[in-house]
Amino acid sequence: MDVLELVERAAGAPSLLLATDFDGTIAEITSVAGGAVAAPRALGALETLSRAPGTTVAIVTGRTIQDVAARTAALGAVWRVGEHGAEIAAPGGELVYRAEAPTEALDALEREAEKAVRRVPALWIERKRCSLALHWRLVPAEARPAALDALGAWADAAARRGFVVMRGRSIHEARDAAHDKGRALAFLLARLPPGTLVVYAGDDTTDEPAIAHARAIGGVGVYIASSERPDTAVEPDLTLDGPGAWIAFLAALAARRGGQIGEAPRLA
């Protein structure tokens, strides 16, 4: 499948779920997670699509639901999935699903993370409601071996406490095994008409369950490649080179399905 074929298929679907990750797809990866900003062209295309008949738009991310809501505040009637499916908000902002936070286990895991940071100060901890992440993007090259050793010990401790550890782009994140982005897609599809076509795009290991689920039910999984992670462990229908190519697809689809949104879309 190429981009033009995907545009045609998605444009013609009677019911469409267009779901996308945030970082590395509609926003460029930044050295600090707080600096990520959604591309205006992506937001414009998603807003147009969200108003098109028979079209549902979802932002599916590992960020907290509050964080992704703030970063996509320009979007109206879209679903937002936070913490890999532990929190789901319907269009309008109503929280329709919220997993119980494993607070005691996360407290213990955070203490283990603090040990890693004492070994490698450039590591930094991100505590979420239902998960815990250790970021190592800012670790200098000479400290990487020590950082990876510390991350390995921390990941082992997380696994002993029943967490799944996702090794993403300069991040290790421990989450409850009951939630992933594939299950989040299934949750959304259960609320849409039978036969809804799902198109999902993501750029990292955390997106692999959603890409696999989309393909398993006859939808389309799109992988957004990067120099950090040029390949994925699951087979996508389409691989695109960076956020710019995915955003160009969104603009082209919005022009076909929801009317023109400014300049003619460029797919090259």
Residues 6+ apart with CB under 8 A from 78: 46, 50, 57, 58, 59, 72, 91
How many domains does the chain contain in total?
2
Is 75 part of any domain?
yes
Q: What is the pLDDT of residue 265?
A: 37
Q: What is the pLDDT of residue 228?
A: 87
Q: What is the pLDDT of residue 34?
A: 72
Q: Do 63 and 123 have their domain in common?
A: no
Distance CA 239, CA 111 (A): 39
Is 249 in contact with 267 (CB distance < 8 Å)? yes
Is 267 part of any domain?
no
Is 73 part of any domain?
yes
Q: Do 88 and 58 have their domain in common?
A: yes
Give the residue from 176, 210, 230 where a domain finishes.
176
Give the residue from 176, 198, 222 where a domain finishes.
176
Q: What is the pLDDT of residue 229?
A: 87
Q: Do 167 and 113 have their domain in common?
A: yes
Q: Do 142 and 162 have their domain in common?
A: yes
Q: Do 77 and 131 have their domain in common?
A: no
Is 188 in contact with 20 (CB distance < 8 Å)? no
Distance CA 206, CA 223 (A): 12
Distance CA 50, CA 55 (A): 6
Q: What is the pLDDT of residue 268?
A: 35
Q: Do 92 and 21 have their domain in common?
A: yes
Q: Do 13 and 83 have their domain in common?
A: yes
Q: Residue 184: in which H helix or E strand, if any?
A: helix 181-189
Domain extent, residue 134, equals 103-176
Whole-Å CA distances, 117 to 33, 88, 134: 17, 31, 9
Neighbours of 197 (CB within 10 A): 20
Q: What does the angle CA 94 – CA 95 – CA 100 come to, to the nearest 5 degrees? A: 165
CATH at 148: 3.30.70.1020
Q: Do 23 and 63 have their domain in common?
A: yes
CATH at 211: 3.40.50.1000
Distance CA 174, CA 203 (A): 18
Give the residue from 176, 207, 239 where a domain finishes.
176
Q: What is the pLDDT of residue 33?
A: 62
Q: Do 39 and 81 have their domain in common?
A: yes
The number of CA neighbours under 13 Å toward the Cβ of 260 is 3
In tens digits, the chain (268 residues) has pLDDT values of 899 999 999 999 999 999 999 999 999 988 766 788 999 999 999 999 999 999 999 999 999 999 999 999 999 999 999 999 999 999 999 999 999 999 999 999 999 999 999 999 999 999 999 999 999 989 999 999 999 999 999 999 999 999 999 888 888 999 988 899 999 999 999 999 999 999 999 999 999 999 999 999 999 999 999 988 889 999 999 999 999 999 999 999 999 998 644 333 343 3
Q: Do 93 and 183 have their domain in common?
A: yes
Is 265 part of any domain?
no
